[in-house]
Structure 1
Amino acid sequence: MEGKEEDVKLGANKFSERQPLGTSAQTKDYKETPPAPLFEPGELQSWSFWRAGIAEFMATFLFLYITILTVMGVVKSPSKCATVGIQGIAWAFGGMIFALVYCTAGISGGHINPAVTFGLFLARKLSLTRAIFYIVMQCLGAICGAGVVKGFQKSQYEVLGGGANVVNPGYTKGDGLGAEIVGTFVLVYTVFSATDAKRNARDSHVPILAPLPIGFAVFLVHLATIPITGTGINPARSLGAAIIYNRDHAWDDHWIFWVGPFIGAALAALYHQIVIRAIPFKSRS
């Protein structure tokens, strides 16, 4: 019997009981991540830096390719996708963000959006060097993605508007700007909440997969604001579509799709820092 008891003890130590999903952080202390430096020239010599930029380029390329093709299929008349409607477009944008953030989060952080990069930069989550590099690669990826869509169906692309963001008839420029500010605030606020280590450690009893709430935020914002601006909330997406479509009216309101998202991202970063981060950390261990 003594030998069997020893075997049981050995087995209990070697094969410990698995913890339920989302509870592992309860036994870990929270450590504040130090702010990223403003300039970090040493990054330029690191392969991980360039690899992250390539990941942002490819993710934004695929994002524009899938979403703009979906828009073209829905607005085409007559179209097999006509019944998909706004919901289908919203699902395409939200679903692609979910998939691409999941794929690239471990490489670049899965920004896929200059507004997200800007908000995280303001929160000192990444250096200015990396932020600028990400935004450049995101814009290049968006241009290439929209360009491939136009290559598939050039005549239809021109007729159907190329998925370019504009303030729709019946709405003012102020309406469009406000929609972009609030929509981007929802997105970037969700990004901060879903990826905040302090919150995840404090509320570790709530299992969470970060790409999922981010994708749902994009989906819901599109449902709300497609009728107003076609939903930008991503300056790279708006720039890529506008450059490839290249019609005068695509540029008339283009400033809205940069100013609005950047203001929304800044407000989300500020709100997160002064409200969410101010909550005292209390370990549940």
Structure 2
Amino acid sequence: MIRKLGAEFFGTFWLVFGGCGSAVLAAAFPELGIGFVGVSLAFGLTVLTMAYAVGGISGGHFNPAVSLGLAVGGRFSWSELPGYWIAQVLGSFCAAGTLFLIASGQDGFSAGGFASNGFGDLSPGGYSMQAVLIAEVVLTAFFLLIILGSTSNKAPAGFAPIAIGLGLTLIHLISIPVSNTSVNPARSTGVAFYAETAAVSQVWLFWVAPLIGAALGALIWKLVLSPDESLEGIGGEGE
């Protein structure tokens, strides 16, 4: 179990450090030209690389919503859920702290939003709480469909991390203007505490919406799309 929790800690660390780091360190300089597309790719690449690196140990969740969805879908043990959530949140906090130490080394540094998520005044496009809630639920639900489908025993073996990474990239391309894209409660929590905005006061939505979306996506997969799926040979949980 220690190996699984360690894999989740480091996988989530890399997701937050790489994804949010691309926004805080690189996208802050327009001349570098990475923009929304570059940040979206960065998030997708973090999941893709760590899914290949440690997915065989823990299942490569790196996201409390994913862990919940896999439990609802019958791919993950409910008894392991609390430990995974703790490891993921700790990984996010450590990544955000490391990123802050690096970013604050620049003269005139201001944390600003620090890649945090938000609605209303904290939404990049000024989207309402209702709009952000709907977006986060729908996108997380589809993220779970991608994960469950690409890791099913009927999918081509070995390609799941690519599908999942590209899926997360697409999700960011859609929703960075809406909520700065969460679909991951751990990712939202870590950076919020370093932001100079009211991001912490809005973190609740980025737990509630992704968890609802993940459970919904898992139920759709389990009850509608693959009711006769055998769990044998599915890589939803590490050995």
**Equivalent residue runs for 1:1-285 within 5 Å:** 49-77=1-29, 79-81=30-32, 83-154=33-104, 158-167=110-119, 168=123, 169-197=125-153, 199-200=154-155, 209-245=159-195, 247=196, 249-278=198-227
Residue 278 of structure 1 deviates from its aligned partner by: 2.3
- Return closer, same or farther for 1:236/1:280 CA change in 2, 3 Å cut-off: closer
Q: Is the 8 A contact 2:27 2:34 kept in 1?
A: no
Q: Is the 8 A contact 2:111 2:194 kept in 1?
A: no
Counterpart AA for 1:176: V
SS of corresponding position for 1:244: coil
Q: Is the 8 A contact 2:65 2:210 kept in 1?
A: yes
Residue 67 of structure 1 deviates from its aligned partner by: 1.4
- Return closer, same or farther for 1:93/1:85 CA change in 2, 3 Å cut-off: same
Cα distance in 1, alignment partners of residues 111 and 220 from structure 2: 42
Counterpart AA for 2:50: L
Cα distance in 2, alignment partners of residues 269 and 244 from structure 1: 32
Residue 256 of structure 1 deviates from its aligned partner by: 1.4
For the aligned residue pairs, the C-alpha RMSD in angstroms reads 1.9
Cα distance in 1, alignment partners of residues 226 and 109 from structure 2: 45
Cα distance in 2, alignment partners of residues 92 and 249 from structure 1: 25
Residue 243 of structure 1 deviates from its aligned partner by: 2.2
Cα distance in 2, alignment partners of residues 241 and 159 from structure 1: 10
Counterpart AA for 1:185: A
Counterpart AA for 1:56: E
- Return closer, same or farther for 1:249/1:126 CA change in 2, 3 Å cut-off: same
Q: Is the 8 A contact 1:142 1:237 kept in 2?
A: yes
Residue 181 of structure 1 deviates from its aligned partner by: 0.6
Bigger Cα Rg: 1
Residue 193 of structure 1 deviates from its aligned partner by: 0.3
Of all paired residues, the percent bearing the same amino acid is: 33
Q: Is the 8 A contact 2:132 2:178 kept in 1?
A: yes
Counterpart AA for 2:97: G
Cα distance in 2, alignment partners of residues 280 and 212 from structure 1: 22
Residue 239 of structure 1 deviates from its aligned partner by: 0.4
State the TM-score, normalized to the length of structure 1. Answer: 0.74
Q: Is the 8 A contact 1:177 1:256 kept in 2?
A: yes
SS of corresponding position for 1:115: helix
State the TM-score, normalized to the length of structure 2. Answer: 0.87
Tell me the matched-pair count. Answer: 224
User: Partner of 1:6 in structure 2?
Assistant: none
Runs of 4+ with >4 A deviation: none
Residue 251 of structure 1 deviates from its aligned partner by: 2.2
